[in-house]
Structure 1
Amino acid sequence: MNRILIALCMVFITCVNVAVAEEITIAAASDLNFAFREVAAEYENTTGDHVRLSLGSSGNFYAQIQNGAPFDLFFSADIAYPRKLEEVGLTVPGSLYPYAIGRIVLWVGKDSRLDLSKGMDVLLEPTIKKIAIANPKHAPYGKAAVAAMEHAKIYDRVKDKLVLGENISQAAQLVESGAADIGIIALSLALAPPMQAAGRYWEIPADAYPPIEQGAVILMGGKNQERAKAFLSFVQGVEGQAMMKRYGFVIPADRVKP
């Protein structure tokens, strides 16, 4: 009898552990690559839950979610995508959250001799054969890169040199690997320790392109809405926001929760 009770207790404890330690699936824009690995690790340490991050282009994730991809949370680099999902009833009502404003930079590898103090005009250097940006058709940071070049009145002169990454992380990889001479990438990537060790950057003035307003939303198709709310609250809190700021994100006013 005692053995049976012990066995039942062990089953109960196992079930409780399974119920407590759950997985949250998050679709996150590639500019969050380094920042969210840190945020997710801290959240996991705090809660015991597991965070499964899928990183990619916001536009591609938007299409996947429309087609039924079972993510719990969507962190987009363009708030327009979660707003569109909200309009068609694919999000938990009231969960839309403008979590950050992104920035873009010129970035070169550490061995490059390009003078970044020239600002956007450095893209006119004849030694530059390829300029990497994210695909502007579906990547918000790619759209911002094109806008910055148009603002500097150099887009028509350099557009034939553009090479497109599927997302902003791939654009950075093109430069890091030597496949491109220079790139326009997210400040959040340039500030990551591996990227700082691999190259240097010049921040493009914020008035040179429309604000990259980024938004998150909890999805109706997810299996773990309560855990998704908990993760979103963590990102909104003082600790989460401090980590985001370290990676160069601007936090919209009055968005930090105690």
Structure 2
Amino acid sequence: MTEPVRVLSAGSMRHAFPAVVSAFEQVTGIAVSLTLGPAGLLRGRIEAGEAFDLFASANMAHPRRLASIGIAEDAVCFARNRLCVLARADLGLTTENFLTVLSDPSVKIGTSTPGDDPAGDYAFQVFDRIEARHPGRGEAMKSRARQLVGGRNSPPTPPGKGSGYLITDGEADLMISYYSNARLLEADPAFSVVDIPGEFLPLIEYGVAVRTNAGTGARRLRDFLLSPRGQEILQETGFSPII
């Protein structure tokens, strides 16, 4: 019996990749084993010897790193995402008052963990872009940011808690989040999903790389991600297609 294609994927694909896998398995009959986690930690596990066939990262840097040391083939961009802010509805955050609210030292800013998770890296890029235009503000935000998820020592989500629990539990007033995740709470009156001003937004490209000498199944899955049907599924789950 053919072994399943072993996929290690960025955790922000947790709603998209199961749908991709289901469609791929239906079309090809090829089984897939999916593991999700912070992309930086997954890359470290791969470098330490963990078996995989295909790696999907929330940035291009991690798969390119694996390609540079011969573990994987060249990385290909397969999707794009964007950052937004998931906030307490009663905070009154808007795109227009974004700088004012985030500059308030009493506002608790939550992010993912830079280095371990690209979402944290992207959030800190927002602070860097703010700093470049408004000296002092970006560094102050960065120093106050609470790195609450996506790290090697981050606690798991408690059973029964939704994705906005860090806000409802009072750990943060707002979280800098991928839109693909935050959009799922847009209809919840407890939250507001707010666009970050465009001048502060980093480019977010997701990269996929196949293990060097992997079987044809991994390459077929990569090609499916890039196909019109794969791109359609990604768009349906909150990502921006590349075609």
- TM-score scaled to structure 2, two decimals? 0.81
Contact 2:127 2:142 in 1 (8 A): no
- Cα offset, 1:91, TM superposition: 1.2
SS in 1 for 2:80: strand
SS in 2 for 1:133: strand
What is the distance in 1 between the residues matched to 2:197 and 2:32? 34
SS at match of 2:194: strand
The structural deviation recorded for 1:157 is 2.8
Change (3 A) 1:187 1:51: same
1:97-141 CA-partner distances (Å, limit 9, x unpaired): 1112221001024xx30122122432234652x221011123222
Letter in 2 for 1:207: E
Could you report, residue by residue, the CA deviation over 1:153-197 in whole angstroms, capped at 9, with x for unpaired residues? 4333333432213429978653354422110010111123xx334
One-letter amino acid of the counterpart of residue 179, structure 1: E
Query: What are the superposed Cα offsets for residues 21-40 of structure 1, whole Å, 9 maximum, x if unpaired?
Result: x5222111122121222222
What letter matches 2:20 in structure 1? V
Q: What SS class does the counterpart of residue 15 from structure 2 fall into?
A: helix
Look up the match of 1:159. 142
- Per-residue Cα deviation, 1:52-80 (whole angstroms, up to 9, x for no partner): 22221111111111111101110111111
Match of 2:116 among 113, 119, 138: 138
4+ long deviations beyond 6 Å: 168-171
Alignment correspondent of 2:37:
56
For 1:17-36, what aligned pairs fall within 5 Å after superposition?
18-19=1-2, 22-36=3-17
Gaps of 5+ in 2: 132-136, 158-162
Find the structure with the greater CA-based Rg: 1
Q: 1:87 to 1:159 in 2, by over 3 A?
A: closer
Counterpart residue number, 1:227: 217
Q: Could you tell me which amino acid in structure 1 is paired with residue 71 of structure 2? A: L
Deviation at 1:89, TM superposition (A): 0.9
Question: In the TM superposition, what are the counterparts of 1:44-83 in structure 2 within 5 Å?
Answer: 44-83=25-64
How many Å separate the matches in 1 of 2:168 and 2:25? 30
- Alignment match of 1:196 (pick from 186, 190, 196): 186
SS at match of 1:191: helix
In 2: Cα distance, 1:176 partner to 1:27 partner? 30
CA shift, 1:206, in A, is 4.2
Q: Which 5+ residue runs of structure 1 have no aligned equivalent?
A: 1-17
- Rate the CA distance shift 1:64–1:237 in 2: closer, same or farther, 3 A: same
Mean CA deviation greater in 70-79 or 177-186: 177-186
| Structure 1 residues 123 and 83, CA gap change in structure 2 (3 angstroms) | same
Contact 1:69 1:221 in 2 (8 A): no
Distance in 2 between residues matched to 1:234 and 1:131, nearest whole Å: 38
How many aligned positions are there?
A: 225
Residue in 2 that maps onto 1:5: none
Identity %: 27
The answer (yes or no) to whether the contact 1:24–1:50 under 8 Å persists in 2 is yes
